[in-house]
Amino acid sequence: MNKVVRPNRRMLLSGALVGTVAALAGCSSTEEPSAANSASPEAPPTTPEAALERLLEGNQRWVKGEPQNPNRDPARRQALAQEQKPFAAVLSCIDSRVPPELIFDVGLGDLFATRTGAEVVSPVVTGSVEYGPLANGTPLIVVLGHQRCGAIKAAHAALSDGETLPGNLAEIVTALQPAYEQAAAAGGDDPVDAMVRAQAELTANDLRSNPDLAPLVAEQELAIVSAYYSLDTGAVEVLSGALS
């Protein structure tokens, strides 16, 4: 009797299912979009280092008030109609002041963007973050916290006072408990800001130890970076995880 082999997730993604998964991203087309290159003169980065450099260069333009607003014209839209190849995945907050395409000065087809309150994850959210690296070869994940995060501030107040927030907001508070405890242990005069940074770093750490992502990180095919965005200056500060 043949032994039944139960394939793990990486085997599935590298095997028969990869076509199905790729099709979800529009990667299954055999036709090259005619405007693919003309609309994007800069080739997308393919390494973690180059991907982070591209994002930080864009952020510098944003900080200076000199954005190029790349890849946002109808030609780019047309070029991407059949396929996409984003060079980074960004997990960031829902905050209206932190839209990833703007603050990194990129455009259509450049990012897989996942946004939740205080970049809190659940299995469904983690699946969305995994999608780029596992199915599309995305070389970089950025977990981006931000200054004066309302979700962090509310969670900090709730955890400090022992209050329960209404509805499913309580779930966000529960998910932020480790960041709260790390910030409390560290001390300092701005516990909410410390909690913001802790949340980004802890979330990035968790993703790095994810059994599906960890091998890619070990092989330096993927970097998982935590970062902090300043509402005051527009600058993104890398906290951890960058490959040197």
Residue number with CB closer to Zn ion (55 or 192): 192
What minimum distance in Å lies between the beta carbon of 146 and Zn ion?
6
Site for Zn ion (CB under 5 A): which residue of 79, 149, 204, 217? 149
Among 126-134, 145-153, 158-166, 224-232, the segment contacting Zn ion (CB under 5 A): 145-153
What minimum distance in Å lies between the beta carbon of 231 and Zn ion?
10
Sign of the four-CA dihedral 50, 224, 137, 81: negative
Residue number with CB closer to Zn ion (151 or 242): 151
What minimum distance in Å lies between the beta carbon of 119 and Zn ion?
8
Residue number with CB closer to Zn ion (79 or 144): 144
Concatenated DSSP letters for 158-222? Answer: HHHHT---STTHHHHHHHTHHHHHHHHHH--S-HHHHHHHHHHHHHHHHHHT-TTTHHHHHTTS-
10 Å CB burial of residue 166 (0-12, 13-18, 19+) is exposed
Residue number with CB closer to Zn ion (149 or 227): 149
Residue number with CB closer to Zn ion (149 or 183): 149
Residue number with CB closer to Zn ion (91 or 213): 91
Q: How many residues at the interface with Zn ion, by CB under 5 A? A: 4
Residues 200 and 228: beta-carbon distance below 8 Å: yes
Q: At a CB cut-off of 8 Å and minimum separation 6, what does 179 contact? A: 152, 195, 196, 198, 199, 202
Q: What count of Cα atoms within 13 Å lies in the side-chain half-sphere of residue 52?
A: 23
Hey, which residues between 73 and 102 contact Zn ion (CB under 5 A)? Answer: 93, 95
Q: Which helix (H) or strand (E) holds 77?
A: helix 74-79
Instruction: Please give the structure tokens belonging to residue 53.
Output: 């450099």
Residue number with CB closer to Zn ion (95 or 201): 95
10 Å CB burial of residue 241 (0-12, 13-18, 19+) is buried
What minimum distance in Å lies between the beta carbon of 111 and Zn ion?
18
What minimum distance in Å lies between the beta carbon of 58 and Zn ion?
21
Question: Any contact of residue 195 with Zn ion (CB under 5 A)?
Answer: no
Stretch 39-78: interaction string toward Zn ion, x if CB under 5 A: ----------------------------------------
Residues 100 and 92: beta-carbon distance below 8 Å: yes
What minimum distance in Å lies between the beta carbon of 74 and Zn ion?
32
Q: Given the rule CB under 5 A, which residues bind Zn ion?
A: 93, 95, 149, 151
